Structure 1
Amino acid sequence: MAGFGEPGADPVDATGLVVGVVAARWHGELTDHMVDRAVEAARACDARDVVVARVAGSVELPVVAQALAPRCDAVVALGVVVRGSTAHFDLVCRSVTDGLTRVSLDTGKPVAHGVLTVETLDQARDRAGLPGSAEDKGWAATVAALDAALAIRRLADAARPVGFGH
């Protein structure tokens, strides 16, 4: 974790927006808490609804994010990938990142990457929003996704023609 430059995660006014949260079941003690924090963040932002889906592992996150995107204004993907002694970590991280980015660009919906990619479980605990954690990725990813959805909405509203003859 960089630990510097974070823009902050104060609630935004997301009244009326729907948030989809998809989370892996691997490292459930951490992802369960991250889901709880994501739901709390959505409520703090006055989102209209939160749809939660669970999947086996992080590789499955993009396809379910893609299924959530048409019915949600923003999607949050949560998981934990811990480096092991094989190349699996690199393959999973690349697959998840590329997949979530593709879903976001293909659907035009923000998809927050709340997957912890860490060297150790202690690093994951420090980012999962537990008491005493340095970061709260479930909360921060949700606020970021809602903030992006609001930015997209403002851009769409600004592009609408105004005045006579339109």
Structure 2
Amino acid sequence: MADVNNSNLLQLNTGILKKDACVVLVKTEWNATIVDEMENGARRVFAANGIDNIITKVVPGSFELPFAIKKIWDNAGLGQRPDAFIAIGTVIRGDTPHFDYVCKAVTDGVVNLNLTLPVPVIFGVLTVDNEQQALERIGGKHGHKGEEAAITALKMIGLNVSLD
């Protein structure tokens, strides 16, 4: 099992942060209590680092996340394009294979976006067996995945700027 304590993820060492960065959070309506706390965690990290241009868009479910991100990118004007996206959702296993199809589709969609868009798309989608596992990932024993997604976005924005 991945343990954030065995990594350097929480060390924000991106060099000079892009203070005027724009980040778009695209979140789902499903599992709103968990998803809303993931958004709150991400916003706390951005606020602590002086990033205040955060936009939230809402989609029905995780399957729709890649479409919305691509559409937002395509419709943004040249001077208004985001520096990063975070896909936020929670898919909880049920009694049917639906879980497997949704998880694969959203994962493949985010990978595809990362290979085609010139800005990072952070995977902030929990794929868990039950609600307890999700709760453990929004401030419980497995850290806070919303905060981790925001830190990852900041690091990737820094990397992207340094490579341009």
Give the TM-score normalised by the residue count of structure 2: 0.86
In the TM superposition, structure 1's runs of 4+ consecutive aligned residues that sit over 6 Å from their partners are none
Amino acid at match of 1:93: C
Amino acid at match of 2:32: G
- Pair member with larger Rg: 1
Identity %: 34
Aligned counterparts, 1:1-166, within 5 A: 1-3=1-3, 5-11=6-12, 13-69=17-73, 70=76, 71-129=81-139, 132-156=140-164
Task: Flag structure 1 segments of 5+ consecutive residues without an equivalent.
Answer: 157-166
Amino acid at match of 1:155: L
**Deviation for aligned residue 1:48:** 4.3
**Number of residue equivalences:** 154
Q: Hey, what's the Cα distance between the residues in 2 that align with 1:77 and 1:150?
A: 19
Amino acid at match of 1:7: N
**Residue 19 of structure 2: SS of its match in structure 1?**
coil
CA offsets 1:42-81 (integer angstroms, 9 cap, x no match) = 2222224001011111001111122334521010011110
Considering only aligned residues, what root-mean-square deviation do their CA atoms show, in Å?
Answer: 1.6
Give the TM-score normalised by the residue count of structure 1: 0.85
**Deviation for aligned residue 1:3:** 1.7
**Deviation for aligned residue 1:133:** 4.4
**Residue 51 of structure 1: SS of its match in structure 2?**
strand
Amino acid at match of 1:125: L
Amino acid at match of 2:27: A
Pick 1 or 2: higher relative contact order, CA cutoff 8 A, min separation 6.
2
